[in-house]
Amino acid sequence: MAAVPRAIKRKVEAMWTKAPRSSSAEIGRRLGITKNAVVGIAHRLGLPSRPSPIKRDPDAAPKRDPDAAPKLSAPRRRPPIVLPPLSSEQAVAIAVLHAMPVPIDEAPARGRRSAPPVHQAEGCRFPLWPHSARAPVPPTFCGKPRIGTTSYCAECAERCFSPAGKRLWGTAA
């Protein structure tokens, strides 16, 4: 938050106290700042709050009793959507569509990721491509038997979860 210049603070204080009829928006327009900035400056300076500019008719709305329990209305429900009945041909067509197997493309589109092949799902999920490169299609993983409930074999887990400062990948840090 930027600091407010002393000159602006003095002008806000003077206009706030000497012109109680002018709104904070009017003071802001005269000084070239927003009404919220004027209110914030006045608050930080400890100036008294202004009365609301909204004129309310005291007879128009009855005041609520603060001790009275709030009135809760029942939630509104939308009427149910009623669809026309299907003809027998439409019902048969829908049943046939639901019974048809969904065709699966063997090769995913370029740039799209696909689920790993089944034979790799049981093995180590450590990627075998450089971290700076995009994943090949299909992606290749280590595939060695996993340890415990992790996604990696013992060797790859050591690479992934080694403490800071430990040599990784067989090279000096």
Is residue 138 assigned to a domain? yes
pLDDT tens-digit profile of 45-78? Answer: 998 887 776 777 767 666 666 677 777 777 788 8
pLDDT tens-digit profile of 130-145? Answer: 766 777 777 778 888 8
DSSP 8: H
Number of domains present in the structure of the chain:
2
The residue range of the domain holding 158 is 118-173
Angle, in degrees to the nearest 10, between helices 35-45 and 24-31: 100
Is residue 103 assigned to a domain? no
> Tokens at residue 26, please?
């009017």
Lowest-pLDDT range of 49-53, 81-85, 93-97, 106-110: 106-110
In 3D space, the residue among 158, 160, 159, 157 whose CA is nearest the CA of residue 146 turns out to be: 157
Q: What is the pLDDT of residue 173?
A: 43
Is residue 165 assigned to a domain? yes
Q: What is the pLDDT of residue 87?
A: 83
> Tokens at residue 43, please?
């608050």
Is residue 64 assigned to a domain? no
pLDDT tens-digit profile of 10-43? Answer: 898 888 888 777 888 889 998 999 999 999 999 9
Q: Which of 23-27, 60-64, 106-110, 169-173 has the highest mean pLDDT?
A: 23-27
Kindly write down the DSSP assignment for every residue of 21-39, as one continuous string: TS-HHHHHHHHTS-HHHHH
Pairwise CA distance, residues 47 & 39, whole Å? 9
**142-168: burial string, b at 16+ Cβ within 10 Å, e else:** bbeebeeeeebbeebbeeeeeeeeeee
Is residue 65 assigned to a domain? no
Q: What is the pLDDT of residue 19?
A: 78
